[in-house]
A and B are shown apart, each in its own frame.
Chain A
Amino acid sequence: MLFNTVDFIIFFPILLVSIVLIKNKKYQHIILLFSSYFFFYFSSNYLILLLIASTILDFYIAKKIWNTSDIAKKKILLTISLAGNLGLLGFFKYVDFAILQFNFLGEQFNLTNEIPFLNLALPIGISFYTFQTISYTVDVYRGKLQPSESLKEFALFVSFFPQLVAGPIVRASEFLPQLREKLTNSVEKYELKSIILRNSNLKLGITIMAFGFLKKMFFADNIAPLVNEIFSIPTGFDSFTIILGTIAFGIQIYCDFSGYSDIAIGAALILGFKLPVNFNKPYFATSPSDFWRRWHISLSSWLRDYLYIPLGGSKKSHVQTYANLATVMFLGGLWHGASWNFVIWGLLHGGYLAIHRLIVNKFPILNEIQFFKTKTGKIISIIVTQYFVFLAWIPFRVSDSNDIFYAMSKFVLLDFQFDETTQIIFQNKFPILLIILFFVLHFISYKKTNLIQNISKLKLRWWFTIVTIILTIIIFFYDGNPEEFIYFKF
């Protein structure tokens, strides 16, 4: 089920009413669990079996890991869990990609027989829920988390509908205690936390959701035609058109994905669950590492905790650290999709992080220079960082390798041709206006931290006015054919 459909507008209030009417905590959780399964089944049909399989596998394996003191056995169990989850992910997401590479290699060695593609349907959200279940089992293995006592609760953690299909990637240690209070402080049976709709949560949740819908349906969906016009076949366009398309896509993907995250966070909050923040004004990042502290935070922190640190993090030699950064970002790129363009995107970011680390290591004095702490220095840092971030958006959006290299070369080596750009700007005044409006709003939200919280704390009449304006804009710009969220396919 897509958030931006009539189906969700009906589903969500029905769920809320059910939760309010049913006071018994146990039944509230069961309703939430089955609602989550319904939400998933709505768009994925039989592929829900994969979600259930992943849930059952990790629930029992985590328990066994916790209950055994034999380190070797723990390792075997962890390996089974990782193999199960990554096997599912690998099979459904990457098998055709692997076949393509295998056939290509075979062609180089004059092998005439090609392996046919399986053309499997990509299960929605598989990249997100497998990462959640992996983090759960690994945390239990590391002794950081006590396994869930109840399959029902664990199943709710895995399938909780707001974040199920496109994140944020929630850790069990963040979610389960919200279901059960004092989880980590006692080994006794605990009381389930009842789901109570609170005034403050409701107001803040609705405000966050409203801004999420506005980002997706007003900004992202209306900027998309400009992006498509430029990037469906970018070869032939001049430099400034490519730059314009890149900026437009950067805004589109931010509004699309952070919009989804906002709706998820808002919906969860209304139900009384706090999900982690996934974006924090990423286009004001002053370095590549700062960018990854602000963009898709739940994924970057997952990669840090479950990949980068196990690889050795920055504890080993400098060279090893750079290699670790590149490896993590390579896999992060591949996580987004079974395609070389995502690998290029990941490697570019891996390169940025490694080079940034290298510069910081080689010239520690840079940290002491006062200029970079001034306003001008900060602006320059932001512009330089964003130049590279936006350059990397090209391979994220464009899949054909020739088009990628053409567009990237035009982005870097300016040709100072303006005719095409002017024409495209004149033909796309509305998306251009939205881009300008986005930057103004992004700047305001950067300057005024907690803007959404502050709006939710306004007097009811002002809050009502703002929410109504947002809702009216959304309705007037709804095209009856909801656009899928970009991150759904990941």
Chain B
Amino acid sequence: MKKIIFLIFVSFIFSFSLYFLFETYSDPPNTIGIPERYPTILDDETKKIVLIGTSQTYQLNATRINENLGSIHSDFHVYNLAGYGYLLEADDFKFKPPEMILYGISYRDFYTEKEKEDNILDINNLFTNIILEINPDLENKNPKALTLQTIRKIIGNKEFFPAPIDNIVNIASDDKLRTQVYYSDVNFYKITPYDENPNVGKLENIIKINKDKKIKMIIFHPPFHKYYLDVLPDENKENFKNIMNTISDKYDIEIYDLHEKYVDLNIMSDLVHVAYHPDAMIYTDDITKIILKEIEP
């Protein structure tokens, strides 16, 4: 018995060591599904329109927007820099300031932790959290991505394995979406009012910086699935509405609300992301219309 337990222990140590050795001598994996952004944006003379926001904005197809824009406004070029949330501010742009910024802001941008931290009965991911507390770097580890990248390199075939981005590409089934409700962030956070919400200050700061630089800023609210909206507490909806109305009035910013626009359409890859799928391009096309409207003289 002791021998078996010892061997299993050795087996774990050996396998993990082998992996960490492999990781040490491999190139770091590319972030799958998220292209390198800055290097693609050259400091040229085109008029830039920049999409920023979180992953909900990332689902917009900038290539398609540019194609549709090109025939009328070929001097403009749209870049999707979403995925960084509040970390991205106007001062961070490593290129000529854009003509316009479209900022995707949703309920989730104003979420603050609710009683969850104080709830001693909440033990979900208990062990994982303890491990991450000890070594936070483990959270970003993706052995599979590294292994597949290495296999691709060895055999020199980029198409050996499809990039695991299907979770944002494919349109999810109703069953899948329904089961996601229970685990979604809607259950864990709340939106505090304008005066109390810490994220309001961050957003206002970005707006002020852009105003100072005379960069036109438009806000839009990315879409959600109806299951998400159904369970989102009314208090959160109300506080969010008040925050956005206050900001819109205070800084004279146009806001386009797409939160509930597609609730009857089957276009979501999960409860909060429109699929990056040919059949779900209505979201991208609506943003194109907003851009067209805003750049018209």
Interface residues of chain A, those whose CB is within 8 Å of chain B, are 5-7, 10-11, 38, 41-43, 45, 96, 117, 119, 121-122, 197-199, 202-203, 206, 222, 225-226, 228-229, 232-233, 337, 339, 399-400, 426-431, 460, 463-464, 467-468, 471-472, 475-481, 489
Contact = CB atoms under 8 A, between A and B. Distances in A.
Contacts of A96: 178
Dominant SS among interface residues on chain B? helix
B127 A233 contact: no
A229 B141 CA distance: 25
Contacts of B279: 233
B228 to A, nearest CB: 10
Given A7-B128, A43-B124, A428-B162, A480 B142 contact: yes
Interface residues of B, number: 58
B16 A233 contact: no
Contact of B4 (A202, A337, A489): A202
Contact of A225 (B121, B124, B151, B162): B162
Contacts of A476: 19, 22, 143-144, 147
Contact of B171 (A232, A430, A481): A232
Nearest to B165: A225
Contacts of B131: 6, 10
24 contacts: A6-B131, A7-B125, A7-B126, A198-B1, A199-B1, A206-B8, A225-B164, A225-B166, A229-B166, A233-B170, A339-B174, A400-B266, A426-B159, A430-B160, A431-B162, A464-B7, A464-B11, A468-B15, A471-B12, A472-B18, A475-B15, A475-B16, A476-B144, A479-B145
Nearest to B16: A475
Interface string B132-160: 00000001111111011001000001011
Contacts of B258: none
Contacts of A472: 14-15, 18-19
Contacts of B151: 430
A228 B121 CA distance: 36
The 8 A-B residue pairs with the shortest CB-CB distance in the complex, in nearest-first order: A232-B170, A121-B182, A479-B144, A430-B161, A10-B127, A468-B11, A472-B15, A7-B127
Contact of B141 (A11, A38, A337, A480): A480
Contact of A471 (B11, B169, B182): B11
Nearest to A481: B142
A52 to B, nearest CB: 15
B230 interface: yes
Given A225-B162, A430-B151, A471-B15, 14 more contacts: A5-B128, A38-B123, A119-B227, A119-B230, A122-B178, A206-B4, A232-B169, A400-B173, A427-B162, A429-B160, A464-B7, A475-B143, A476-B143, A479-B164
B142 A226 contact: no
A478 B146 CA distance: 10
Contacts of A478: 143-144
Contact of A430 (B11, B148, B181): B148
A11 B126 CA distance: 10
Contacts of B128: 5-7
A42 B123 contact: yes
Contacts of A337: 175
B122 interface: yes
A399 B160 contact: no
B19 A475 contact: yes
A232 B159 contact: no
Interface string B1-34: 1011101101110111011001000000000000
A229 B148 CA distance: 18
Contacts of A463: 7
B46 interface: no
B231 interface: yes
A399 B172 CA distance: 10
Contacts of B147: 476-477
If over half of A's interface residues share one DSSP class (helix, strand or loop), that class is named, otherwise mixed; here it is helix
A117 B230 contact: yes
A300 to B, nearest CB: 23
Nearest to A397: B173
Contact of A464 (B10, B124, B157): B10
Nearest to B167: A228
Nearest to B3: A460
A202 B11 contact: no
B143 A431 contact: no
Contacts of A203: 4
B74 interface: no
A353 B246 CA distance: 65
Which of B3, B122, B173 has the most C-beta atoms of chain A within 10 angstroms of its own C-beta?
B173
Nearest to A339: B175
B164 A429 contact: no
Of A400, A468, A478, most buried by chain B (CB within 10 Å of CB) is A468
B205 interface: no
A197 B127 CA distance: 24
B63 interface: no
Given A399-B174, A479-B144, A480-B141, A427 B159 contact: yes
Contacts of B164: 225, 479
A5 B138 CA distance: 13
A121 B181 CA distance: 7
Nearest to B132: A6
Contacts of B47: none
Interface in B44-65: none
Contacts of A400: 173, 266
B277 interface: yes
Interface in B226-240: 227, 230-231
B34 to A, nearest CB: 15
B282 to A, nearest CB: 15
Contacts of A119: 178, 181, 227, 230-231
A276 to B, nearest CB: 25
Nearest to A116: B230
B179 interface: yes
A437 B169 CA distance: 27
B220 to A, nearest CB: 26
Contacts of A121: 181-182
Given A119-B231, A430-B151, A460-B3, A399 B123 contact: no
